[in-house]
């Protein structure tokens, strides 16, 4: 982004993001062709990645969103996550692809995948653009992973700092001044 504030340090630029999205979309297209998958984005962070990803997948599919309660990663526990906005379609027999911007502790995606599996889908898989493996507290399999990232405060491409910077086209490290 032009005129980036000094608190932002480029980590993954838009070119690298685009190449990563393309690679993930090719894998997903290969695996889901003919299955009419349902991509489920977790609001809000996934919205930019999901928009780019589904346009690159280029097979018939559907898109929906969920929103989960958030207490901030530090204080979140699996038992305290609740669904604020649920899907409004049946998952019975559907191939569901959860789409996430980042897997940090893994609590959000672990909760959601288990929640969706109770709705009799044919399959539930997880695609995440980024992952911070050093922060994991629950074991979660990421079926389609873009990039592993360091344990830094990241913003941009959907990721925020107090709701700022979600619209940055690049992923940057937020450095407190
Ligand atoms: C972020 C991110 C993931 C989650 C990952 O969402 O978008 O959904 O945290 O963290 P975890 O692996 O430790 O559970 P956040 O709760 O900040 O809400 P947002 O998507 O609205 O930004």
Cβ–ligand 1 distance for 156 under 6 Å, the answer: no
- Does the pLDDT of residue 99 top 70, yes or no? yes
Of the CA atoms within 13 Å of residue 100, those in its CB half-sphere come to 30
Catalytically active residues are 104
| Mean predicted confidence (pLDDT) in 148-155 | 97
Domains contained in the chain, number: 1
- Does the pLDDT of residue 2 top 60, yes or no? no
Q: Evaluate whether residue 118 is within a structural domain.
A: yes
- Expressed in angstroms and rounded, the spacing between residue 45 Cα and the centre of ligand 1 is 7
- Does the pLDDT of residue 86 top 50, yes or no? yes
- The reported pLDDT for the residue numbered 1 is 52
- The reported pLDDT for the residue numbered 79 is 54
CATH number, domain with residue 126: 3.40.50.2020
**E-strand spans in 56-133?**
62-68, 83-85, 95-103, 123-131
- Does the pLDDT of residue 5 top 60, yes or no? yes
Helices (H), 59-156: 107-117
Q: Evaluate whether residue 129 is within a structural domain.
A: yes
DSSP 5: -
**Mean of the per-residue pLDDT values of the chain:** 93
Cβ–ligand 1 distance for 105 under 6 Å, the answer: yes
Containing structural domain, residue 18: 12-172
Cβ–ligand 1 distance for 106 under 6 Å, the answer: yes
**pTM, 2 dp:** 0.94
Categorize the per-residue pLDDT at 74 as very low, low, confident or very high, splitting at 50, 70 and 90: very low
Q: Evaluate whether residue 54 is within a structural domain.
A: yes
Atom index in ligand 1 nearest the CA of residue 70 equals 16
Q: Evaluate whether residue 3 is within a structural domain.
A: no
Categorize the per-residue pLDDT at 78 as very low, low, confident or very high, splitting at 50, 70 and 90: very low
Q: Evaluate whether residue 6 is within a structural domain.
A: no
| Mean predicted confidence (pLDDT) in 115-126 | 98
- Does the pLDDT of residue 46 top 80, yes or no? yes
Q: State the pairing for strand pair 83-85/95-103.
A: unpaired
Residue-wise DSSP of 21-43: HHHHHHHHHHHHTTS--EEEEEE
What percent of the chain is predicted at pLDDT more than 90?
Answer: 88
Answer for the pair 95, 117: CB distance below 8 angstroms, yes or no: no
Atom index in ligand 1 nearest the CA of residue 103 equals 12
- The reported pLDDT for the residue numbered 75 is 45
Q: Evaluate whether residue 110 is within a structural domain.
A: yes
- The reported pLDDT for the residue numbered 50 is 98
| Mean predicted confidence (pLDDT) in 102-115 | 96
Q: Evaluate whether residue 81 is within a structural domain.
A: yes
């Amino acid at each position: 982004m032009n005129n980036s504030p000094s608190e932002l340090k480029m980590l993954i630029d838009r070119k690298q993001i685009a190449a990563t999205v393309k690679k993930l979309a090719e894998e997903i297209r290969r695996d889901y062709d003919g299955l009419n998958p349902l991509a489920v984005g977790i609001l809000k962070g996934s919205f930019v990645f999901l928009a780019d990803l589904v346009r690159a997948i280029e097979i018939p599919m559907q898109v929906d969103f969920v929103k989960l309660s958030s207490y901030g990663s530090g204080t979140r526990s699996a038992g305290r996550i609740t669904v604020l906005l649920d899907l409004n379609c049946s998952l019975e027999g559907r191939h569901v692809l959860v789409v996430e911007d980042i897997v940090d502790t893994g609590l959000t995606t672990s909760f959601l995948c288990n929640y969706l599996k109770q709705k009799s889908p044919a399959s539930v898989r997880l695609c995440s653009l980024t992952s911070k493996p050093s922060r994991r507290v629950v074991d979660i399999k990421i079926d389609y992973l873009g990039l592993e990232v360091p344990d830094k405060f990241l913003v941009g491409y959907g990721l925020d700092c107090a709701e700022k910077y979600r619209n940055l086209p690049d992923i940057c490290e937020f450095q407190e001044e």
